[in-house]
Structure formats: C-alpha cells, structure tokens
Structure 1
Amino acid sequence: MTDYFRPLVQIGPARPETAVPLAGGWGWFTHVEVLSRNAPAQVIPAGDMPTDKAARLTAPRAPIAGMSLDRPRIMGILNTTPDSFSDGGQHADVADAVTAGLAMAQSGADIIDIGGESTRPGASFVPIETEIKRTAPAISALRAAGLTLPISIDTRKAAVAEAAVGAGANLVNDVSGFTFDPGLAPFCQKHQLPVCVMHTQGDPATMHLNPSYSNVVLDVYDTLEDQISKLETGGIARNAILADPGIGFGKNLEHNLALLARISIFHMLGTALLLGVSRKKFIGTLGNAPDAKDRAPGSIGVALAGLAQGVQLVRVHDVAETRQAIALWCAASSESIL
C-alpha cells in the first residue's frame, strides 16, 4: 500500500515550535494528511512522516531560469495564436506581442510564457512550421526590445522549442508532460533547460470528452511522478523541473475542485509547482462569468488559494491585477513573505 503525504500548509507570524518549513518558501506545517487508495484519510503530526517523504516536502526549491522561489512568482501568458480561448488573435502580430510582453514585464511578471498552438478543449493540431513562425519571431523581437525576464516556450514539439531557444527562450513548458514528442526531453537535457511538466488526460482535441479517474488527486500525482522520474533518468535534474497538475486539461469541474482543494500534495514530488487557472471555464461557471475576459477576479481568487498552499508560480493573463492582489495578500499574511 502506498501512502501520500499532503502538508496542511499554514502561513503567518505565529509559528509553533513543531512547525517545519515547506519547500524553502513562505509556508510551514505541523501536520500532514495521509492519503491512500486503500484506507480512509487521516491526519498525523509532521514529525511522524517517513524521513524520505519529509525531505521532499521541506527541501528548498532551487531557482528556475534564474528565479528564486522563496516568494510567489507570476508567469504572464502571451499567446501568439489566432484561436486561444481568451486572447486569440490579440498578439498574433509581432509588434502586438512585443507591446504586450513589455507591458507584462512592467506590470510585474517574473517570466513570460509564449505559445503558438492553442490547447483549449477541442483545439486542432498546429503544424510545426506554423507554430515556429508564430513564436520565434516574437521572442527575438522581445529580446531585441530589451526584455531581460526569462521566457518560456509553451510547446509540445522539439523543433518549436529549438527555434524558440535559439531566439532567446529559457524554459520549455510542455502541456503533454513530455509525452507527445520523444525528441523534446533529450533536447532540453542537452541544452540544460529547465522544464515544466504538466498533466493532461488525452489530446486537446478530445480531452474534454468524458474525462475519468479512479481518484483524480492520486492519479494525477502518480502520472506526474512517473513522468518526472523518466525525465530525471534522462538527465534532467528534479530541481530543474516545475510540476503543473493541469487544471482544466482532461478534467471536469469536480476534478478541478478536488485538485485545488488538495494541491499541496504535489509538493511531495520534490519540485516547484506551477498553477494555471487563469480565465478557465470552471471559473466562469462558478463565478457567473460567461465571457472569459470577465474572469480576472475569480482567477485571482483561485491563484491566491494556491499560494496559500505553497504553490510557487501562477500562470495568468491579468498580470497587473494579480501582482497587486499578491502584494496585498502577502502584506496581510506575513511581512516575511516578500
């Protein structure tokens, strides 16, 4: 029987002597929830955890693409696609992409994530050449315009990543969790690139059609652990990996909420965590916002809930609003966070 240990994360100025730090960040915990596929959940003191599990939860996370992870970080979304669900067509022109990217940097983004293939539910496959034409010129132009922030390339394809890195990208963010193109992980290993491994069930074209899990939290955890272990075996260090549970990717409303409620379990992977919920359908459903552009308040609310469980990075469309919310959340929670 395999047990999973989820830290019950707390923050704030009053910290018990029995508290242990979470991943070198702003959170700490005194107890963990023990989850299993064969037994009811139970809560035990953190000191009763197996030593190897405790080490994964408490070890400080190494910087990723030059970003320290001891405070909340913001990844700004810059889609150069004509058909993304929220901002399709807005940044397809290189000049528009540059303007948007620089504005995100000015507003407080820590990294810019550039994608040229929509991965919304029902999206069609984009040919490699098309995806390169949408992304590499935008990255080159942003670097030429003086952007010094890290840039991640949101792609499933090795050739697209190669062109993007040649243009100035620093990190590869693969929504398939490095299961789509067998050449992508070796490319990242060869060039010592940090990576983001996301969980998805199915392909973007079909992933929204009746997703099913025996236990969504543990199933997603096991899949991520398996993929991260494979990358580690292939020469990519675990401390160069971000893990993303893939909210909305092959998950229905109930799946998404179950993952968010227990997202701190993914700290047991021993990697930094990225949460991407910005403007997604479930926020519109629960927040009565049919138009994706009206979902910033709900997106920020979920992002802050993730930060409260120790998530290190949030991927967002609304950078300025999210930065303001995080600054106030940190100030109201503990002066030691920022």
Structure 2
Amino acid sequence: MSSLNCNGRLLELNRPLIMGILNATPDSFYAASRVTDTQRAVDTAGQMLSDGATFIDVGGMSSRPGAEIISSGAEMDRVLPIIAAISKAHPRAFVSCDTIYGATARAAVAHGAAMINDISAGNLDAELFPTLPDLRVPYVLMHMPGKPADMQRRTNAYGDKVITHVWDFLAAKMGELRELGVLDILVDVGWGFGKTVEQNYELLANLAVFKTLGVPILLGISRKSSTWRPLGIAVEESLPANTALHLFALQQGADILRVHDVKEAAQAIKLHELLAAAPRI
C-alpha cells in the first residue's frame, strides 16, 4: 500500500480510486465534460464526490488530437476560480490541476489544488519540473510524443515496441524528478496520446508491466475514440464499453481511474473488489 502527500493531507491508496473530469474549456472532445460556469463546476464536483470520486481534475486546455496550446495566463483565468471554489465548497475533495505549465501549477496549488496532472511530462514548459519540488503535491507523469497538435503523426515512432518505449520514457522521467526531489509520482501510459487503436490496446493489455515502476498507475481512457470507434458507435453510446475496459484495467493493477462517469466507475471498482475477494478453487 502506498500513500500520497496531497498539499498537507495524507491519502492512502489502499483501494482503487476515481478521478472525475471537469474541463473548463469550450472545446474538449467530450462536450458533456465542459464546465465553464463556476457554480456549475462546484455542483458537478459535488455530484462526482457523492458518486464516489476522490479527485476532481480541473483542466483549462483541451488536449484532444489536433488541439493547439494556449497560454498559461489564459489557462489560469479558466481554472483558478474553479479550483478555489471547489476547494472551499468541498474541502474533502482532492482537486487536481491538469496543466503543462509551471506557473499554472504553482498558482493552482496556492488556490487549493492537491495534485498536478501533466500530459507533457515536462516537455512543453521547462519551468514545470523545477517548480514541482516546492509544491509538495503528487505529480502525474504521462507519456505523449510531441504535443496534441501533432501527436497522432508520431505513432510510427515505436516500431513494434510500444510497451518498452513507454516504460523507458516514464522510467527516465521519473529519474529526473527524483533527482529534483519530487517525492510522490504517479504514471499514466497516455492512452490516446500519439497512439494507434492497436497500440492503445497493447498498452492496456500489458498495463501490469508498468507496476514494475513502483509507483501508482493512473489510467485515462474514458470516452476516448479507441473505446467507441472500433465498435461503430457514437461517443454518447460508449459507457458500457468504458466500464468493461475499466474493470479489465483494475484487474491489471490500475490504481486511479480518470473518468467522466463516476458512478459507473465506482460500480466497476465494487465488482473488481468482489472478484478479488472471491475464493478460488
């Protein structure tokens, strides 16, 4: 069992947890996740917490394929009021800030954030990694080649070794972070970020390999196109497929599920725990 120091609060990871997604953006890929009004964000966060979420992940920049990078200032205008409002209204929540910027990370923690979730592994802002040690909050390290605008043109970079490539990348970045003094690190294999459908499923099928990194695994597959396009359905119809994949991910060792649909993720965790406790013959 591991624990995380979340801005002065200790969180034990003795069972799988849920991170609910709140996108303070006008253009995130799943429209139902977009929340730009502060009171609506507070209300939505409250419902997610009631449904079983531990973390609320607030992001101000879309990372869908082809999306352009916005400035840190524009991002902060979107996320800081929401982070502060949720932290005040729901003090038991662990608010995460989804950002690539050191300046945003520092301001978010000052406004109540308890975790930094970064799609870029520090590659898009040289100030992010040096900022992290002073913040003393957990950091989610994710694999992504390039940036959202061009990542899907880089899927041939792995050859037939996507597992090895992603593992080596995460291990090297963890080494950099440890040298800087970052204590609490989580890893995310980056489902949908610069990977083909087949590469995504290879990563998921082998998710247990990443337990050898020795840190918690966060998985973000919720409503992404690799869960619904292979089935020939629309994103709005993909909840059953998402739930099935979440259950499999839990069996492979996922520690935190980053989701749009918190209640259903909580149900998957409950069934996973029942299966894990069932006697074998």
Pairing 1:311–2:254 present: yes
Alignment deviations for residues 147-176 of structure 1 (CA, whole Å, 9 cap, x no partner): 421111000001111221111001111100
Unaligned runs of 5+ in 2: none
Answer yes or no: is 1:63 the counterpart of 2:10: no
TM-score, scaled to structure 2: 0.93
Q: Select the residue among 142, 146, 150 that pairs with 2:90.
A: 146
- Counterpart residue number, 1:218: 164
Looking at structure 2, the residues matched to 303 and 143 of structure 1 have their Cα atoms a distance apart, in angstroms, of 28
Structure 1 segments, 4+ long, off by >3 Å, are: none
Aligned pair 1:75/2:19, yes or no? yes
**How does the TM-score come out when normalised to structure 1?**
0.78
State the distance in 2 between where 1:334 and 1:96 align: 39
2:178 alignment partner in structure 1: 232
Q: Is the 8 A contact 1:136 1:163 kept in 2?
A: yes
Checking the alignment, whether the CA contact within 8 Å between 1:102 and 1:147 is kept in structure 2 is no
How far does the alpha carbon of each residue in 1:261-292 deviate from its partner, in whole angstroms, 9 at most, with x for none?
A: 111111111111111100000101223322x2
Mapping 1:266-305, distance limit 5 Å: 266-290=210-234, 292-305=235-248
Where does 1:188-267 land on structure 2 (aligned, <5 Å)? 188-212=132-156, 213-214=158-159, 215-237=161-183, 240-267=184-211
How many residue pairs match? The answer is 274
Question: AA paired with 1:228?
Answer: M
Shift of 1:335: 6.2
Aligned to 1:126: 70
Q: CA deviation at 1:90?
A: 3.3
Larger Rg: 1
The match for 1:113 is 57
Answering whether residue 38 of structure 2 is matched by residue 97 of structure 1, we say no
The residue number in structure 2 matching 1:25 is none
Mark the CA change 1:320 to 1:219 in structure 2 (over 3 Å): closer, same or farther: same
Paired with 1:202 and 1:92, the residues of 2 have a C-alpha distance of 28
Deviations 1:171-220 (A, max 9, x none): 11110012221211221101212100000011101111251212100000
CA positional deviation for 1:293 = 2.6
**Secondary structure class of the residue paired with 1:299:** helix
Task: Give the whole-Å Cα distance in 2 for the aligned partners of 1:219 and 1:89.
Answer: 31
| Partner SS for 1:62 | strand
Deviation at 1:333, TM superposition (A): 3.1
In the superposition, relative to structure 1, how do residues 89 and 193 fare at CA in structure 2: closer, same or farther (>3 Å)?
Answer: closer
Structure 2 letter corresponding to 1:322: A
Q: Secondary structure at the match of 2:131?
A: helix
How far is the alpha carbon of 1:306 from its aligned partner? 1.0
Cα distance in 2 for residues equivalent to 1:163 and 1:294: 37
Q: Please provide the CA RMSD for this pair.
A: 1.6
Secondary structure of the 1:133 match is: helix
Percent of residue pairs identical: 37
The alpha carbon displacement at 1:126 in A equals: 1.1
The CA distance in 2 between the partners of 1:234 and 1:221, in whole Å, is: 20
Matching residue within 271, 275, 278 for 1:332 = 275
The Cα offsets for residues 93-134 of structure 1, whole Å up to 9 and x where unpaired, read as 111111111111111101111100000000011121110011
Name the SS of the counterpart of 1:278 in structure 2.
coil
**SS of corresponding position for 2:123:** coil
Aligned counterparts of 1:134 and 1:140: Cα–Cα separation in 2: 11
SS of the residue corresponding to residue 63 of structure 2 reads: coil
Q: How big is the shift at 1:325?
A: 2.4
**How far apart in 1 are the matches of 2:185 and 2:95?**
15
Where 1:103 maps in the other structure, the secondary structure is helix
Deviates more, 1:220-229 or 1:293-302: 293-302
Amino acid at match of 1:312: D
